[in-house]
Amino acid sequence: MHKMKSVLAVGLMLMGTAVWAQTPPAEANSSTKLQAPIQPYADNPNLLHVWAYKAQQGVLNAADRVGEVAEKGVQKVRPSVHQAWENTKTLTSNTTQQANQKIQDTKEALGGAPQQPVPIVQGSLSQPDTAQPAASVPAETGSGATSYAVTEL
């Protein structure tokens, strides 16, 4: 019994490598349906051939089922992925517009808006400006140097 199992195992290994190592013809590669490398068995088949054919059919059927399940999964996920992509495009567009507006506002704040005239204030240099707050009014010192009083910390 042990010899028979050994012979069967070696035969399966040799047959399996020979059968699965065959390359399918070029026209079989172009079709979408899987082509079976092991042909159906006749009226008086070899036991190994029957086993290989049945195993092949099981693998092909499993592959078909996996493909169907994968396709169903893709169909379920596709709307949410499409919606997420649309949301991303909308968010990116809005963010870009907001960033461009902030850049334009910053340019206008730093360089002044070209349509607004710059106010010109004329006054005596020896008199402090009454429009300035007390913290920015220069304090007079006797040494001729200008110093500023700091009132807020």
Report the DSSP beta bridge partners of residue 147.
Answer: 139
Between residues 50 and 10, which one has the greater pLDDT? 50
Please count the structural domains in the chain: 1
φ, ψ (nearest 5 deg) of residue 128: -70, 150
Q: Is residue 120 pLDDT above 60, yes or no?
A: yes
Angle, CA 26 vertex, CA 20 and CA 28 arms, to 5° = 65
In the prediction, which pLDDT does 10 show? 66
In the prediction, which pLDDT does 88 show? 94
Q: Is residue 136 pLDDT above 50, yes or no?
A: no
User: Residue 152's CB: how many other CB atoms inside 10 A?
Assistant: 6
Confidence category of residue 30, pLDDT binned at 50, 70, 90: very low
**Residue-range definition of the domain harbouring residue 52:** 48-106
Tell me, yes or no, whether 111 lies in a domain: no
CB burial of residue 60 (10 Å; 0-12, 13-18, 19+): middle
Confidence category of residue 80, pLDDT binned at 50, 70, 90: very high
Tell me, yes or no, whether 89 lies in a domain: yes
